[in-house]
Amino acid sequence: MTMTKRALPFAIIVGVLLCGAEESRACQDHDKFPGRRGPRPRRSDLGGRGPTDEASAASSTDVTYQCTAYSYAPLTAIQNSYPVQWTTATIQPNDTDATSLFGSINATLNSKFPTDLPRGTPAGDFSGVSYSSTDPDCWWTSTLCTTPNASTGLPADITNVPEPMTWGLGFDDGPNCSHNALYDYLLQENLKATMFYIGSNIFDWPLQALRAASDGHQICLHTWSHQYMTALSNEQAFAELYYTRKAVHDLLGVTPQCWRPPYGDVDNRIRTIAQALNLTTIIWSHDTKDDWEANTNGVTPAMIDANYQGIIDMALNGSFNTFGPVVLNHELDNYTMGEFMKYAPAIKSAFKQVVPIATAFNISQPYAESSVTFPTFSQVVSGSSTTPNVAVNVTQGQGAAAAVSAPAGSVTPSKAIRGVGNGGDNGGDGASLAVAAVVL
Protein backbone atom coordinates (compact mmCIF):
# COMPACT_ATOMS: atom_id res chain seq x y z
CA MET A 1 0.00 0.00 0.00
CA THR A 2 1.03 3.63 -0.37
CA MET A 3 0.83 5.77 2.74
CA THR A 4 0.15 9.39 3.22
CA LYS A 5 -6.14 15.36 48.95
CA ARG A 6 -7.11 18.93 49.82
CA ALA A 7 -9.54 20.42 47.39
CA LEU A 8 -7.58 22.70 45.12
CA PRO A 9 -8.49 26.35 45.71
CA PHE A 10 -10.35 28.19 42.96
CA ALA A 11 -7.51 30.66 42.49
CA ILE A 12 -4.91 27.92 42.07
CA ILE A 13 -6.81 26.04 39.37
CA VAL A 14 -7.77 29.18 37.48
CA GLY A 15 -4.23 30.51 37.76
CA VAL A 16 -2.76 27.39 36.19
CA LEU A 17 -5.43 26.82 33.55
CA LEU A 18 -5.61 30.45 32.44
CA CYS A 19 -2.37 30.12 30.58
CA GLY A 20 -3.82 29.66 27.11
CA ALA A 21 -6.39 32.40 27.45
CA GLU A 22 -3.96 35.11 28.45
CA GLU A 23 -1.01 33.85 26.39
CA SER A 24 1.27 34.59 29.34
CA ARG A 25 5.01 34.73 28.96
CA ALA A 26 5.31 31.28 30.49
CA CYS A 27 3.07 29.89 27.75
CA GLN A 28 4.83 31.67 24.93
CA ASP A 29 8.27 30.55 26.00
CA HIS A 30 7.51 26.84 26.02
CA ASP A 31 6.48 25.76 22.59
CA LYS A 32 4.94 22.66 21.14
CA PHE A 33 7.14 20.05 19.50
CA PRO A 34 9.84 21.46 17.17
CA GLY A 35 8.40 23.28 14.18
CA ARG A 36 5.12 24.25 15.85
CA ARG A 37 6.00 27.49 17.62
CA GLY A 38 8.88 29.75 18.54
CA PRO A 39 12.06 28.99 20.48
CA ARG A 40 12.14 27.13 23.76
CA PRO A 41 14.73 27.90 26.46
CA ARG A 42 17.93 25.94 26.19
CA ARG A 43 20.07 24.71 29.07
CA SER A 44 22.73 27.22 28.10
CA ASP A 45 20.20 30.00 28.71
CA LEU A 46 19.34 28.92 32.23
CA GLY A 47 20.36 30.85 35.29
CA GLY A 48 19.13 30.17 38.83
CA ARG A 49 15.99 32.31 38.67
CA GLY A 50 13.39 29.69 39.53
CA PRO A 51 13.07 26.59 41.69
CA THR A 52 16.21 25.29 43.35
CA ASP A 53 15.12 21.80 44.43
CA GLU A 54 12.28 19.34 43.99
CA ALA A 55 10.36 20.68 46.97
CA SER A 56 10.47 24.28 45.79
CA ALA A 57 9.60 23.25 42.24
CA ALA A 58 6.50 21.48 43.57
CA SER A 59 5.51 24.29 45.93
CA SER A 60 3.60 26.54 43.56
CA THR A 61 0.96 26.29 40.87
CA ASP A 62 1.84 29.70 39.48
CA VAL A 63 2.63 29.03 35.83
CA THR A 64 5.28 31.71 35.48
CA TYR A 65 7.16 30.46 38.54
CA GLN A 66 6.95 26.82 37.47
CA CYS A 67 8.15 27.60 33.95
CA THR A 68 10.96 29.94 34.95
CA ALA A 69 14.22 28.44 33.76
CA TYR A 70 16.63 27.21 36.41
CA SER A 71 20.00 25.52 36.66
CA TYR A 72 20.47 22.09 38.21
CA ALA A 73 23.97 20.94 39.13
CA PRO A 74 23.54 17.19 38.51
CA LEU A 75 22.31 17.97 35.00
CA THR A 76 25.11 20.43 34.31
CA ALA A 77 27.61 17.75 35.29
CA ILE A 78 26.39 15.23 32.70
CA GLN A 79 24.81 17.16 29.85
CA ASN A 80 27.89 17.18 27.62
CA SER A 81 27.77 13.39 27.40
CA TYR A 82 24.24 13.48 25.93
CA PRO A 83 22.77 14.42 22.56
CA VAL A 84 21.70 18.00 22.04
CA GLN A 85 18.14 18.46 23.26
CA TRP A 86 15.36 18.24 20.69
CA THR A 87 17.64 16.87 17.99
CA THR A 88 17.67 13.33 16.66
CA ALA A 89 19.81 11.32 19.06
CA THR A 90 22.99 9.58 17.94
CA ILE A 91 25.63 7.69 19.89
CA GLN A 92 27.89 10.24 21.52
CA PRO A 93 31.66 10.37 20.88
CA ASN A 94 33.69 8.24 23.29
CA ASP A 95 30.59 6.50 24.66
CA THR A 96 32.10 3.03 24.57
CA ASP A 97 29.27 1.42 26.51
CA ALA A 98 26.64 2.63 24.02
CA THR A 99 28.84 1.74 21.05
CA SER A 100 29.41 -1.79 22.29
CA LEU A 101 25.77 -2.43 23.12
CA PHE A 102 24.58 -1.02 19.82
CA GLY A 103 27.05 -3.17 17.90
CA SER A 104 25.48 -6.30 19.33
CA ILE A 105 21.92 -5.08 18.73
CA ASN A 106 22.70 -3.94 15.20
CA ALA A 107 24.10 -7.34 14.29
CA THR A 108 20.82 -8.92 15.42
CA LEU A 109 18.81 -6.41 13.40
CA ASN A 110 20.79 -6.99 10.25
CA SER A 111 20.38 -10.73 10.65
CA LYS A 112 16.69 -10.91 11.58
CA PHE A 113 15.21 -7.94 9.70
CA PRO A 114 17.41 -7.17 6.70
CA THR A 115 14.51 -5.72 4.71
CA ASP A 116 12.87 -3.77 7.58
CA LEU A 117 14.48 -0.41 6.81
CA PRO A 118 13.71 3.21 7.74
CA ARG A 119 10.74 4.64 5.89
CA GLY A 120 9.26 8.10 5.61
CA THR A 121 10.59 11.11 7.51
CA PRO A 122 11.08 11.66 11.25
CA ALA A 123 8.33 14.28 11.07
CA GLY A 124 5.85 11.66 9.85
CA ASP A 125 5.71 12.21 6.11
CA PHE A 126 5.07 8.78 4.62
CA SER A 127 3.80 10.00 1.25
CA GLY A 128 5.08 7.80 -1.52
CA VAL A 129 6.15 5.03 0.84
CA SER A 130 5.21 1.62 -0.51
CA TYR A 131 4.51 -1.10 2.01
CA SER A 132 3.14 -4.60 1.56
CA SER A 133 -0.47 -5.16 2.51
CA THR A 134 0.65 -8.39 4.22
CA ASP A 135 2.30 -6.21 6.89
CA PRO A 136 5.52 -8.22 7.22
CA ASP A 137 6.98 -5.86 9.82
CA CYS A 138 3.90 -5.45 12.06
CA TRP A 139 4.01 -1.71 11.40
CA TRP A 140 1.51 0.00 13.69
CA THR A 141 1.29 3.21 11.67
CA SER A 142 0.19 1.22 8.62
CA THR A 143 -2.08 -1.46 10.09
CA LEU A 144 -2.33 -0.84 13.85
CA CYS A 145 -0.49 -4.15 14.31
CA THR A 146 0.47 -4.85 17.91
CA THR A 147 1.19 -8.60 17.77
CA PRO A 148 4.36 -9.52 15.88
CA ASN A 149 4.58 -12.89 14.18
CA ALA A 150 5.64 -15.59 16.63
CA SER A 151 8.69 -16.32 14.50
CA THR A 152 10.20 -12.97 15.50
CA GLY A 153 10.37 -13.91 19.17
CA LEU A 154 8.88 -10.53 20.02
CA PRO A 155 6.05 -10.24 22.57
CA ALA A 156 2.82 -8.46 21.78
CA ASP A 157 2.64 -4.80 22.66
CA ILE A 158 0.61 -3.87 25.72
CA THR A 159 -2.64 -2.30 24.56
CA ASN A 160 -5.00 -2.91 27.48
CA VAL A 161 -4.87 -4.20 31.05
CA PRO A 162 -6.07 -7.63 32.21
CA GLU A 163 -8.13 -6.33 35.12
CA PRO A 164 -11.81 -5.73 34.29
CA MET A 165 -13.26 -2.26 34.74
CA THR A 166 -9.81 -0.81 35.34
CA TRP A 167 -8.55 2.38 33.67
CA GLY A 168 -4.83 2.08 32.89
CA LEU A 169 -3.75 5.62 33.66
CA GLY A 170 -0.86 7.21 31.82
CA PHE A 171 0.26 10.57 30.48
CA ASP A 172 2.47 11.21 27.46
CA ASP A 173 4.92 14.00 26.70
CA GLY A 174 6.07 15.12 30.14
CA PRO A 175 7.52 16.39 32.22
CA ASN A 176 5.60 19.60 31.65
CA CYS A 177 6.99 22.60 33.53
CA SER A 178 3.52 23.66 34.72
CA HIS A 179 2.26 20.25 35.84
CA ASN A 180 1.86 20.94 39.57
CA ALA A 181 -1.90 21.40 39.43
CA LEU A 182 -2.25 17.97 37.81
CA TYR A 183 0.25 16.30 40.14
CA ASP A 184 -1.34 17.95 43.18
CA TYR A 185 -4.70 16.63 42.00
CA LEU A 186 -3.34 13.12 41.54
CA LEU A 187 -1.85 13.29 45.03
CA GLN A 188 -5.10 14.60 46.48
CA GLU A 189 -7.09 11.79 44.83
CA ASN A 190 -4.49 9.12 45.72
CA LEU A 191 -3.97 8.33 42.04
CA LYS A 192 -0.75 7.03 40.54
CA ALA A 193 -0.03 7.05 36.83
CA THR A 194 2.47 5.86 34.25
CA MET A 195 4.39 8.87 32.95
CA PHE A 196 5.86 8.54 29.47
CA TYR A 197 8.67 11.08 29.60
CA ILE A 198 10.57 12.65 26.70
CA GLY A 199 14.32 12.76 27.34
CA SER A 200 14.69 16.34 26.13
CA ASN A 201 11.86 17.43 28.43
CA ILE A 202 13.62 15.77 31.35
CA PHE A 203 16.69 17.86 30.56
CA ASP A 204 14.53 20.98 30.27
CA TRP A 205 12.72 20.32 33.57
CA PRO A 206 14.66 17.85 35.75
CA LEU A 207 13.05 18.93 39.02
CA GLN A 208 9.60 18.32 37.57
CA ALA A 209 10.74 14.82 36.59
CA LEU A 210 11.99 14.26 40.13
CA ARG A 211 8.55 15.09 41.46
CA ALA A 212 6.95 12.32 39.43
CA ALA A 213 9.36 9.78 40.84
CA SER A 214 9.09 10.98 44.42
CA ASP A 215 5.28 11.08 44.17
CA GLY A 216 5.36 7.39 43.26
CA HIS A 217 4.38 7.53 39.61
CA GLN A 218 5.79 4.95 37.20
CA ILE A 219 8.32 6.43 34.79
CA CYS A 220 8.48 5.06 31.24
CA LEU A 221 10.26 6.42 28.16
CA HIS A 222 8.86 8.41 25.25
CA THR A 223 12.15 8.78 23.33
CA TRP A 224 14.67 11.62 23.28
CA SER A 225 13.12 13.93 20.70
CA HIS A 226 9.60 12.57 20.03
CA GLN A 227 9.87 11.67 16.36
CA TYR A 228 8.54 8.84 14.21
CA MET A 229 10.83 5.99 15.20
CA THR A 230 10.41 3.85 12.07
CA ALA A 231 11.88 6.69 10.01
CA LEU A 232 15.14 6.62 12.00
CA SER A 233 18.25 4.56 11.35
CA ASN A 234 19.13 1.70 13.66
CA GLU A 235 21.66 3.84 15.49
CA GLN A 236 19.31 6.81 15.85
CA ALA A 237 16.43 4.69 17.15
CA PHE A 238 18.78 2.99 19.61
CA ALA A 239 20.15 6.33 20.81
CA GLU A 240 16.66 7.83 21.23
CA LEU A 241 15.85 5.11 23.75
CA TYR A 242 19.29 4.57 25.26
CA TYR A 243 19.92 8.20 26.22
CA THR A 244 16.39 8.75 27.53
CA ARG A 245 16.74 5.69 29.74
CA LYS A 246 20.18 6.90 30.82
CA ALA A 247 18.82 10.38 31.63
CA VAL A 248 16.16 8.91 33.92
CA HIS A 249 18.79 6.77 35.63
CA ASP A 250 21.35 9.56 36.01
CA LEU A 251 18.90 12.15 37.31
CA LEU A 252 16.21 10.09 39.06
CA GLY A 253 18.19 7.03 40.10
CA VAL A 254 15.93 4.45 38.45
CA THR A 255 16.09 2.52 35.17
CA PRO A 256 12.73 2.27 33.37
CA GLN A 257 11.65 -0.95 31.69
CA CYS A 258 8.87 0.37 29.47
CA TRP A 259 8.35 2.84 26.66
CA ARG A 260 5.71 4.20 24.32
CA PRO A 261 6.55 5.04 20.70
CA PRO A 262 5.61 8.59 19.73
CA TYR A 263 2.48 8.55 17.57
CA GLY A 264 2.39 4.77 18.14
CA ASP A 265 4.91 4.44 15.33
CA VAL A 266 6.67 1.11 15.85
CA ASP A 267 7.56 -1.98 13.84
CA ASN A 268 9.54 -5.15 14.49
CA ARG A 269 12.90 -3.46 13.92
CA ILE A 270 12.15 -0.86 16.57
CA ARG A 271 10.58 -3.42 18.91
CA THR A 272 13.77 -5.46 18.72
CA ILE A 273 15.86 -2.46 19.75
CA ALA A 274 13.50 -1.80 22.66
CA GLN A 275 13.51 -5.43 23.72
CA ALA A 276 17.33 -5.47 23.75
CA LEU A 277 17.18 -2.50 26.14
CA ASN A 278 14.71 -4.42 28.35
CA LEU A 279 11.87 -2.09 27.41
CA THR A 280 8.28 -3.30 27.09
CA THR A 281 6.36 -1.57 24.31
CA ILE A 282 3.11 0.01 25.49
CA ILE A 283 0.58 1.36 23.00
CA TRP A 284 -3.03 2.10 23.97
CA SER A 285 -6.52 0.72 23.40
CA HIS A 286 -8.46 3.97 23.67
CA ASP A 287 -7.53 7.50 22.74
CA THR A 288 -8.80 10.78 24.13
CA LYS A 289 -8.19 11.82 20.52
CA ASP A 290 -6.67 15.13 19.68
CA ASP A 291 -6.91 16.70 23.15
CA TRP A 292 -3.63 18.42 22.25
CA GLU A 293 -5.30 19.97 19.20
CA ALA A 294 -8.25 21.72 20.87
CA ASN A 295 -9.32 24.90 19.06
CA THR A 296 -7.09 24.18 16.08
CA ASN A 297 -7.71 22.32 12.81
CA GLY A 298 -11.43 22.25 13.48
CA VAL A 299 -11.10 20.32 16.76
CA THR A 300 -13.35 21.82 19.42
CA PRO A 301 -13.38 21.32 23.18
CA ALA A 302 -16.81 19.71 22.74
CA MET A 303 -15.22 17.01 20.58
CA ILE A 304 -12.62 16.28 23.24
CA ASP A 305 -15.33 16.13 25.89
CA ALA A 306 -17.24 13.63 23.75
CA ASN A 307 -14.14 11.43 23.47
CA TYR A 308 -13.71 11.26 27.25
CA GLN A 309 -17.41 10.69 27.80
CA GLY A 310 -17.43 7.92 25.19
CA ILE A 311 -14.85 5.91 27.13
CA ILE A 312 -16.75 6.48 30.37
CA ASP A 313 -19.98 5.34 28.70
CA MET A 314 -18.26 2.14 27.58
CA ALA A 315 -17.53 1.33 31.21
CA LEU A 316 -21.14 2.01 32.14
CA ASN A 317 -22.50 -0.23 29.36
CA GLY A 318 -20.32 -3.20 30.25
CA SER A 319 -17.73 -2.96 27.46
CA PHE A 320 -14.91 -3.31 29.98
CA ASN A 321 -16.33 -6.19 32.00
CA THR A 322 -13.52 -8.53 30.90
CA PHE A 323 -10.54 -6.18 30.59
CA GLY A 324 -9.55 -2.58 31.12
CA PRO A 325 -8.49 0.11 28.66
CA VAL A 326 -5.08 1.71 28.41
CA VAL A 327 -6.11 5.27 27.68
CA LEU A 328 -3.98 7.82 25.87
CA ASN A 329 -3.81 11.03 27.93
CA HIS A 330 -1.32 13.88 27.72
CA GLU A 331 0.74 16.00 30.07
CA LEU A 332 1.36 18.15 27.04
CA ASP A 333 -0.14 21.44 28.19
CA ASN A 334 -2.57 22.98 30.63
CA TYR A 335 -5.61 22.17 28.51
CA THR A 336 -4.84 18.45 28.21
CA MET A 337 -4.05 18.18 31.91
CA GLY A 338 -7.18 20.13 32.80
CA GLU A 339 -9.33 17.85 30.68
CA PHE A 340 -8.27 14.83 32.70
CA MET A 341 -8.94 16.63 35.99
CA LYS A 342 -12.36 17.62 34.72
CA TYR A 343 -13.34 14.04 33.90
CA ALA A 344 -11.47 12.24 36.69
CA PRO A 345 -14.47 12.16 39.08
CA ALA A 346 -16.64 10.53 36.41
CA ILE A 347 -13.83 8.14 35.51
CA LYS A 348 -13.41 7.08 39.13
CA SER A 349 -17.15 6.61 39.46
CA ALA A 350 -17.52 4.52 36.29
CA PHE A 351 -14.41 2.36 36.73
CA LYS A 352 -13.66 0.16 39.70
CA GLN A 353 -9.96 1.06 39.69
CA VAL A 354 -7.72 3.70 38.14
CA VAL A 355 -4.10 2.55 38.33
CA PRO A 356 -0.74 2.80 36.54
CA ILE A 357 0.20 0.14 34.01
CA ALA A 358 2.65 -1.54 36.38
CA THR A 359 0.00 -2.09 39.03
CA ALA A 360 -2.56 -3.34 36.53
CA PHE A 361 -0.08 -6.03 35.46
CA ASN A 362 1.09 -6.81 39.01
CA ILE A 363 4.59 -5.58 38.19
CA SER A 364 5.86 -4.90 41.69
CA GLN A 365 9.38 -3.99 40.51
CA PRO A 366 8.89 -1.65 37.54
CA TYR A 367 12.56 -0.64 37.39
CA ALA A 368 15.81 -2.53 37.06
CA GLU A 369 16.57 -1.49 40.64
CA SER A 370 15.00 -3.75 43.27
CA SER A 371 14.91 -0.89 45.79
CA VAL A 372 11.71 0.50 44.24
CA THR A 373 8.56 -1.55 44.68
CA PHE A 374 4.98 -0.93 43.62
CA PRO A 375 1.80 -2.34 45.16
CA THR A 376 0.18 -5.29 43.46
CA PHE A 377 -3.30 -4.91 42.05
CA SER A 378 -4.83 -6.89 44.90
CA GLN A 379 -3.15 -4.64 47.45
CA VAL A 380 -4.63 -1.58 45.77
CA VAL A 381 -8.08 -3.17 45.65
CA SER A 382 -7.91 -4.21 49.32
CA GLY A 383 -6.64 -0.79 50.34
CA SER A 384 -3.62 -2.28 52.09
CA SER A 385 -1.30 -0.21 49.91
CA THR A 386 -1.61 2.32 47.14
CA THR A 387 1.75 4.00 47.62
CA PRO A 388 4.94 2.69 46.03
CA ASN A 389 8.10 2.42 48.07
CA VAL A 390 10.29 4.88 46.18
CA ALA A 391 14.00 5.57 46.22
CA VAL A 392 14.99 8.49 43.99
CA ASN A 393 17.68 11.11 43.70
CA VAL A 394 16.06 14.03 45.50
CA THR A 395 19.09 15.88 46.84
CA GLN A 396 18.89 18.52 44.08
CA GLY A 397 22.33 19.64 43.19
CA GLN A 398 24.36 17.22 45.26
CA GLY A 399 24.10 14.22 42.95
CA ALA A 400 23.61 11.70 45.76
CA ALA A 401 20.55 9.53 46.21
CA ALA A 402 18.05 9.80 49.03
CA ALA A 403 15.09 7.61 49.93
CA VAL A 404 11.45 8.59 49.95
CA SER A 405 9.55 5.77 51.59
CA ALA A 406 5.93 4.82 51.78
CA PRO A 407 3.96 6.19 54.74
CA ALA A 408 3.92 4.25 57.98
CA GLY A 409 1.33 1.53 57.91
CA SER A 410 1.39 1.00 54.17
CA VAL A 411 2.41 -2.31 52.73
CA THR A 412 5.55 -2.49 50.65
CA PRO A 413 4.41 -4.71 47.80
CA SER A 414 5.88 -7.65 46.90
CA LYS A 415 -3.16 6.15 14.75
CA ALA A 416 -3.67 9.36 15.21
CA ILE A 417 -1.09 11.72 13.69
CA ARG A 418 -0.59 14.13 16.54
CA GLY A 419 1.72 17.01 17.30
CA VAL A 420 3.51 17.11 20.61
CA GLY A 421 5.67 19.40 22.61
CA ASN A 422 7.37 20.36 25.78
CA GLY A 423 6.95 23.08 28.31
CA GLY A 424 3.87 24.91 29.42
CA ASP A 425 2.02 26.25 26.45
CA ASN A 426 -1.64 25.71 25.98
CA GLY A 427 -3.87 24.03 23.48
CA GLY A 428 -5.18 27.43 22.61
CA ASP A 429 -7.43 30.39 22.33
CA GLY A 430 -9.35 30.56 25.54
CA ALA A 431 -10.14 26.89 25.96
CA SER A 432 -8.59 26.83 29.41
CA LEU A 433 -11.04 29.34 30.85
CA ALA A 434 -13.85 26.93 30.07
CA VAL A 435 -11.90 24.07 31.58
CA ALA A 436 -11.30 26.03 34.78
CA ALA A 437 -14.99 26.70 35.16
CA VAL A 438 -15.94 23.06 34.70
CA VAL A 439 -13.17 21.67 36.89
CA LEU A 440 -14.48 23.67 39.79
Q: 135: how many CB neighbours lie within 10 A of its CB?
A: 16
Distance CA 156, CA 368 (A): 21
Beta strands 286-287; 327-330: pairing state: parallel
Is residue 172 within 8 A of residue 13, CB to CB? The reply is: no
Beta strands in 76-120 (DSSP E): none
Provide CB contacts within 8 A for 326, sequence distance 6+. Answer: 158, 159, 160, 161, 168, 170, 282, 283, 284, 285, 286, 357
Instruction: Verify whether residue 333 is a known catalytic residue.
Output: no
Report whether 40 contacts 85 (CB < 8 A).
no
What backbone phi and psi angles, to 5 degrees, belong to 335?
Answer: -70, -50
* Residue 165 main-chain phi, psi, to 5 deg: 55, 40
**Single-letter amino acid, residue 73:** A
Geometric angle at alpha carbon 356, from 387 and 243, rounded to 5°: 100
CA dist 189 and 348 (Å) reads 10
- Of 116, 172, 265, 291, the active-site residue reads 172
CB-CB contact of 206 with 54 (8 Å):
no
Helix (H, G, I), strand (E, B) or coil at 324: strand
What lies within 8 Å, CB to CB, of 207 at 6+ separation is 51, 53, 54, 56, 57, 58, 70, 72, 396
Any idea how long the chain is? 440
| Catalytic status, residue 172 | yes
Going by C-beta distance under 8 Å and a sequence separation of 6 or more, which residues neighbour residue 6?
188
DSSP 268-313: HHHHHHHHHTT-EEB--SEE--SGGGTTBTTB-HHHHHHHHHHHHH
The residues annotated with a catalytic role in the active site are 172, 330
